[in-house]
Amino acid sequence: MFLKQHNLIYSTTLITGLTFPLQVIFNDHRVFLVPFILTFFLFSKKNVNIILNTSLNLSNLLILSLLFYLIIQSLLQISIAPTNTLNYVPLLVFLYCTLQYFYFNIIANQLDIDYFLKAIITLGYISTLFFAYDLFYKIIYLEPTFFARNAQFYQELRSGEVDITSRAIIGYRSAGLFDKAPISVAFVAFFLFFQKIRLKINKSFINYIFYIISFLIFILALNFTGFIAFLFSSFIVYIINHKIKYNLTFILIYLRILSLT
């Protein structure tokens, strides 16, 4: 194998996250095939045998049932329009997710998971930096960035519709680097969440600073849903780790904090 397993997971996850900007740069939706092909290198003969010899649980059966349904549906669509390459996309994307699911569910070790999370954190940094760059570029130069223009043109060309995105509109929030603003914000939220876990922040003062910084990041993105999701997720993890007893007063206080935010 040209890369060690954990490095391959890092590279594949990173390319998966950057698929949309790469599609925009090359003006070709087939870029999504790159991580799909790279994933096959994770499945050596030994790994395949382990998966085949593992008994199927309910979730595994559900995934395989959905895959079988999508294969039938895709074959019907392809038989109607075999030259339309977009008919192959849902099947290949779901097959890619299925391969990832079975690898992480059965084969992956702790190092693999660590490198997967590192890739998500890297994508979060990239997404955050682009949010800030895209927003300040609009404020300073009163026009969208070169990437925002190209991304809008690519999305309109891909969908066959006009004005399906607000990337090139001045005065509107940044759509981020990825396909849509919620996806870009999701990477920022995951990055903050995983980074907080990795840093194991326990001191209350540092926690407050961390929350303030994260809140400012989401203000730049003008997307508060991501911050609420991050705050709520962190709260759940905090409860689990500290085995706090659930009581109504504590929950109401937290809900008030969410409401104020």
Instruction: Please tell me the distance from the alpha carbon of residue 49 to that of residue 37, in angstroms, as a whole number.
Output: 20
pLDDT surpasses 70 at 113: yes
Q: Which residues contact 18 (CB under 8 A, 6 or more apart)?
A: 123, 126
> What CA–CA distances, in Å, run from 45 to 3, 41, 60, 178, 199?
16, 10, 20, 35, 37
- Rounded to 5 degrees, what are φ and ψ at 168? -95, 10
Number of domains in the chain: 2
Query: Are 173 and 91 contained in the same domain?
Result: no
How many CB atoms lie under 10 A from the CB of residue 127? 25
pLDDT surpasses 70 at 258: no
Instruction: Please tell me the distance from the alpha carbon of residue 105 to that of residue 101, in angstroms, as a whole number.
Output: 6
Instruction: Please tell me the distance from the alpha carbon of residue 229 to that of residue 224, in angstroms, as a whole number.
Output: 9
Instruction: Give me the mean pLDDT over the 175-188 stretch.
Output: 79
Average pLDDT, the chain: 76
Query: Are 104 and 117 contained in the same domain?
Result: no
Query: Are 135 and 216 contained in the same domain?
Result: yes
Q: Which of 49-53, 236-240, 247-251 has the highest mean pLDDT?
A: 49-53
Query: Are 94 and 121 contained in the same domain?
Result: no
Place of tokens 């940094």: 125
Query: Are 50 and 165 contained in the same domain?
Result: no
Show which of 108, 134, 153 is a domain's final residue.
Answer: 108
pLDDT surpasses 80 at 123: yes
Query: Are 255 and 158 contained in the same domain?
Result: yes
Query: Are 83 and 175 contained in the same domain?
Result: no
Higher confidence at residue 7 or residue 164? 7
Predicted confidence at residue 108, as pLDDT, reads 83
Predicted confidence at residue 3, as pLDDT, reads 62
Question: CA 219: distance to chain centroid?
Answer: 20
Query: Are 152 and 182 contained in the same domain?
Result: yes
Contact of 197 with 237, CB cutoff 8 Å: yes
Show which of 108, 123, 140 is a domain's final residue.
Answer: 108
Domain region containing 172? 113-260
Greatest Cα-to-Cα distance within the chain, rounded to the nearest angstrom: 61
Query: Are 243 and 256 contained in the same domain?
Result: yes
Q: In the numeric block, which tokens belong to residue 230?
A: 């991050």
Query: Are 117 and 96 contained in the same domain?
Result: no
pLDDT surpasses 60 at 1: no
Predicted confidence at residue 172, as pLDDT, reads 65
Show which of 75, 91, 108 is a domain's final residue.
Answer: 108
Predicted confidence at residue 234, as pLDDT, reads 65
Query: Are 136 and 101 contained in the same domain?
Result: no
Q: Look at the chain and count its residues.
A: 261
Predicted confidence at residue 187, as pLDDT, reads 81
Predicted confidence at residue 171, as pLDDT, reads 63
Higher confidence at residue 226 or residue 40? 40
How many CB atoms lie under 10 A from the CB of residue 90? 13
- What are the tens digits of pLDDT across the range 49-108? 888 888 777 878 888 888 888 888 888 877 777 767 667 777 888 888 888 888 888 888
Query: Are 152 and 218 contained in the same domain?
Result: yes
pLDDT surpasses 70 at 216: no
